[in-house]
Structure 1
């Protein structure tokens, strides 16, 4: 596995630092760097890469505008000296968002995320690791181990993923869409507002499912299938 990447930044010292950091990761191949955003955009339209490091504030075209113009987007890690572009990065489903000056420890975390997501997209599975779900939340991509999910709640245009952690993860997605990403044998819809992890069901009584930390209603549409699940356990 080799991840091809390029870096675009109008600051030579910033490019030099990113190039140096990339060189410390054997699985990353730095194909080219660009101080000129227009030249970088042209390269991206004619070449396929896996990962793009790009500064947001550049004179000819911003990094946001450049990424938005791409038809086939690679994984994107934005770099910037400013904090006020996080929402735009979220809108474009950026992998991560690094604030300058970038330290090696923070850069390494972003690369770990890129490697994990690359394996996820290409179906490269490590059997020693739990299966995962990737969602965008708080302006970054978040990895959630499926074993940690207890239930998923619909919040109009958003869903709230309740896990072992204290704070649920809120992301812009429908229940139908997230259900398509989950293994059908492990997650079941019980209500128009809820999906539950089958292995977290403790009992069902009076049209309510008792989970490890919550009690949820079961609608008429799903009651028989949920009762059958309980019988098989």
Structure 2
């Protein structure tokens, strides 16, 4: 994976450089202490992953990420823990709290590689009847037709299944769409993806799957066209 690192502190960049050099599947193409130089670089080069500091002068890391029309995967690096929840709302791969060790850095890179592999799958492989869900140290085979809906919960995505079963995974909810059949699964809210085949009723504000009411997000109202 081609990566860049953005941090206004040169010492922090040196740590990322040193760690990245030990990860065989990461190629650190460039580092930046100036966020706007990094934005120009991203406009001209294909990058798969950004190691991104949050608190920087002029523009913070989250605003930088929001400014990109087609952002790469991102691993936030910061000395401040209070931004963790917000970072995962932005579908960050991981959140590294400074100072971070090489094993912790490698764990984040492995998660990014998993996402990279998912995105690289040919279109024909994206319509499976079953998928493997990583739950802790296990990979659990799950039948797609048993999934009722998916819910973002902190750093996890919870899959709600038939018969009151559930699974949790650290794969961000946005990336779950890459695993699921596009014709059946619809994102209706920042925190919810539903299986349209399981919908019992809906109105312009919410959707019901059985007795469960799921809100429709203000920016996801177009999902009603797929349900009607």
**Structure with larger Rg:** 1
Report the alpha carbon displacement of residue 133 of structure 1 after superposing the two structures with TM: 5.6
Report the alpha carbon displacement of residue 179 of structure 1 after superposing the two structures with TM: 5.5
User: Structure 1 pair 35/143, CA: closer, same or farther in 2 (3 Å)?
Assistant: farther
Report the alpha carbon displacement of residue 117 of structure 1 after superposing the two structures with TM: 0.9
Q: List runs of 5+ in structure 1 lacking aligned partners.
A: 135-141, 195-233
Report the alpha carbon displacement of residue 157 of structure 1 after superposing the two structures with TM: 9.7
User: Structure 1 pair 34/191, CA: closer, same or farther in 2 (3 Å)?
Assistant: closer
Q: Equivalent of 1:34, from 32, 35, 46?
A: 32
Report the alpha carbon displacement of residue 161 of structure 1 after superposing the two structures with TM: 1.2
- Residue 224 (structure 2) aligns with: none
Q: CA RMSD in A?
A: 4.0
How many residue pairs align between the two structures? 175
Q: Please give the residue correspondences for 1:49-68 in structure 2 after superposition, counting only pairs within 5 Å.
A: 49-68=47-66
Show CA shifts across 1:95-152 (max 9, x none).
1111111111111111111111111100189xxxx94469xxxxxxx99945056943
Q: Please give the residue correspondences for 1:1-233 in structure 2 after superposition, counting only pairs within 5 Å.
A: 3-123=1-121, 131-132=131-132, 145=139, 147-148=141-142, 151-154=146-149, 160-162=158-160, 168-169=167-168, 180=181, 189=197, 192=200, 193=209
TM-score (norm 1): 0.61
Q: Distance in 2 between matches of 1:146 and 1:181?
A: 21
Show CA shifts across 1:11-68 (max 9, x none).
1111001001100012111100011112112211221101100100001210001110
Report the alpha carbon displacement of residue 180 of structure 1 after superposing the two structures with TM: 2.6
Report the alpha carbon displacement of residue 162 of structure 1 after superposing the two structures with TM: 4.3
Q: Distance in 2 between matches of 1:157 and 1:93?
A: 10
Q: Distance in 2 between matches of 1:105 and 1:156?
A: 29
